[in-house]
């Protein structure tokens, strides 16, 4: 795995070296002995621009090293050359990092770009649909930060329709909808969303705390 990660990290330079060697072999001998060097070199260079180094981010994300992850993203100089689903992941990751840094304006812009690219991808539709749902949930959270309850409701409902990657995300979406419905004084809907969130039995400390807090008073509201 480490060897593969090193190849991804340095494949542009390895590809350029192979092309240079190919030129030398072509000059010293003939084209056909140089062809394998040209071929592998072109594949490595194309892979660098077409697929990018996003695989390298996984290790940084698992370790919680956002600076390392951001450095890998910053090394991509031509994101428009990335294969469309990978370009979607690129913008989504940029948006997630911006959210962690509380740069909500940049986060919203990048996550919207990632979501738009997902919407038109025909490959791995199930996974892409779920990822689209997660992105829309994040956009809903950003709208809540800006107190845009109408925009938040639209995004979160769309996230629920698209599907979310895990029960924790589903519970978060239902709790946000519960909060929005209470603000709109639609108490029956608020209770329904709360029941759905609680039924998922989330384990994330923040969600558990929210459920306990809402449970203190939701039974006393009408509806």
More confident site: 58 or 35 = 35
Stretch 99-118: mean pLDDT, rounded?
90
Residue 54 in contact with residue 9, Cβ under 8 Å?
Answer: no
More confident residue, 126 or 184: 184
Binned at pLDDT 50, 70 and 90, residue 55 comes out as confident
Find which of 5-9, 111-115, 218-222 is predicted with most confidence, using mean pLDDT: 111-115
Stretch 146-161: mean pLDDT, rounded? 94
Mean pLDDT across 29-57:
93
Percent of the chain residues topping a pLDDT of 90? 68
Give the whole-angstrom CA distance, residue 76 versus residue 164: 28
Are the C-beta atoms of residues 73 and 94 closer than 8 Å to each other?
yes
Model pTM? 0.78
């Amino acid at each position: 795995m480490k060897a593969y990660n090193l190849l991804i990290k340095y494949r542009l330079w390895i590809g350029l070296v192979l092309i240079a060697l190919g030129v030398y072999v072509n000059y010293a001998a003939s084209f056909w002995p140089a062809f394998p060097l040209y071929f592998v070199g072109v594949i490595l260079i194309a892979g660098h621009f077409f697929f990018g180094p996003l695989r390298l981010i996984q290790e940084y994300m698992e370790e919680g090293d956002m600076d390392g992850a951001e450095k890998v993203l910053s090394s991509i100089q031509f994101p428009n050359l990335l294969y469309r689903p990978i370009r979607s992941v690129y913008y989504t990751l940029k948006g997630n990092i911006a959210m962690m840094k509380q740069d909500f304006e940049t986060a919203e812009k990048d996550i919207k770009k990632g979501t738009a690219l997902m919407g038109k991808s025909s490959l791995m539709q199930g996974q892409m649909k779920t990822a689209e749902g997660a992105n829309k949930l994040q956009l809903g959270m950003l709208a809540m930060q800006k107190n845009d309850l109408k925009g938040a409701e639209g995004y979160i409902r769309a996230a629920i329709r698209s599907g979310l990657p895990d029960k924790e995300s589903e519970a978060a979406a239902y709790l946000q909808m519960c909060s929005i419905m209470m603000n709109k004084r639609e108490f029956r809907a608020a209770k329904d969303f709360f029941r759905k969130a609680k039924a998922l039995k989330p384990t994330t400390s923040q969600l558990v705390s929210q459920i306990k807090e809402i449970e203190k008073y939701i039974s006393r509201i009408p509806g």
